[in-house]
Amino acid sequence: MSKKFTGLFFSISIAIIATSLSYIHPTFEALVISIILGMLFSNILEDRNILNEGVEVTIKFFLPVGIALYGLQLHVGRPDLKLVFPVVITYISIFASVYMVTQFFNIKKKTSILLATGMSTCGASAIAIVSPLINAESEETSISLLTIMVYGLMAMILYPVIGDLIGLNPMEFAFLTGTSLPMLGQVKVAASTCGNDCVNMAVKYKLIRISFLAFVITLSVLLSRERGKGFFIPWFVVAFLLLAVSVNIFNLEKLTRISGPVSRFTLSTALAAIGMKVDFDSVSEAGGKPVIATFLALILILIAMYITYSIMTI
């Protein structure tokens, strides 16, 4: 019991710290902070084996619960159809570009899937949800989250510069940020450089992307499936999909509001545990290839977005 309690205690403690920090600034993503703190903590311990049993218990409980509850966050209401179509085109371009470029760099297939998923949909949350479905290793999940974080932080700096260089107006800049930045907090911060109207429109684009999470789950599972092998649907994915459908049919605003922090905290706890399983050496072996590949994909993404925007009038 003491061994189980040790890993569980530190996972919850790290999640509390990460969740608290996430309220300081929109760019502080609790899930990313959790996995980083988990990695740092376990790698400074002399005997990290004392965490193993509790870490496994934590992941088995908190990760499925967090994924299931996240379905309640997929309330999209009635999106403007004029907005949906260009977002779909850009979404497909982002997923395909990141996946193909990272595969060209001989990055592990599951890491490529996680990077494509995180970049195209909702960043850390998408990676946390898809990771157990494709049986990704802890190192693959960590590398993907760290890459997404680096990309998002750099893009928040570069996007306003790019917007000024090519003369984007606030609504055009909202399209750029809302359809390509991986995390909602990053979208809000980057779009805020063009005012509140830009932020509101960028968030609308971002929410449409988040609603594609159910689709990207199916796509990720199919891409990761080995030939000749079937696949099964875990209970928490069924629960996730049922809750996602229910929240868009029935009036469950209160439940959505309450479940948000709970889902975020449970996923943070699970990612803290995943981080504690990661050895720094295994992460360093990947080098900078995932980051370089993602930034090269960024160039393709921006070109694709520019072409899309030139064709579609938004």
What is the distance between the alpha carbons of residues 11 and 271, in angstroms, rounded to a whole number? Answer: 8
pLDDT digits (tens, 9 = 90+) for 87-100: 888 888 889 989 99
Cβ-count burial 72-84 (b if 16+ within 10 Å, e if not): bbbbbeeeeeebe
Task: With a cut of 80, say whether residue 303 has pLDDT above it.
Answer: no
Q: What's residue 130's pLDDT?
A: 92
User: With bands split at pLDDT 50, 70 and 90, how would you rate the model's confidence at 3?
Assistant: low
Q: What's residue 230's pLDDT?
A: 62
Mean pLDDT over the full length of the chain:
87
User: With bands split at pLDDT 50, 70 and 90, how would you rate the model's confidence at 228?
Assistant: low
Concatenated DSSP letters of 103-137: HHTT--HHHHHHHHHHHHTTTHHHHHHHHHHTT--
pLDDT digits (tens, 9 = 90+) for 163-216: 888 888 998 899 889 988 999 899 999 999 999 999 999 998 998 898 888 888
What is the distance between the alpha carbons of residues 129 and 266, in angstroms, rounded to a whole number? Answer: 12
Task: With a cut of 60, say whether residue 242 has pLDDT above it.
Answer: yes
Q: What's residue 87's pLDDT?
A: 87
Kindly report the length of the chain: 314
Task: Answer for the pair 74, 126: CB distance below 8 angstroms, yes or no.
Answer: no
Q: What's residue 83's pLDDT?
A: 81
Q: For 250, which DSSP code?
A: S
Q: What's residue 309's pLDDT?
A: 60
pLDDT digits (tens, 9 = 90+) for 115-138: 999 999 988 999 999 999 898 999
What is the distance between the alpha carbons of residues 28 and 183, in angstroms, rounded to a whole number? Answer: 10
- Supply angle C-alpha 278, 297, 203, rounded to 5: 85
Domain region containing 33: 2-311
What is the distance between the alpha carbons of residues 120 and 187, in angstroms, rounded to a whole number? Answer: 13
What is the distance between the alpha carbons of residues 182 and 210, in angstroms, rounded to a whole number? Answer: 10
Of the two residues 308 and 10, the one the predictor is more confident about is: 10
Cβ-count burial 216-252 (b if 16+ within 10 Å, e if not): bbebbbebbeeeeeeeeeeebbebbbebbeebeeeeb
pLDDT digits (tens, 9 = 90+) for 14-26: 999 999 999 998 8
Report the number of distinct structural domains present in the chain. 1
What is the distance between the alpha carbons of residues 303 and 297, in angstroms, rounded to a whole number? Answer: 10
Q: What's residue 79's pLDDT?
A: 67
Which has the minimum average pLDDT: 24-33, 90-99, 304-313?
304-313
Burial of 254 (0-12, 13-18, 19+ CB in 10 A): exposed
% of the chain beyond a pLDDT of 90: 43
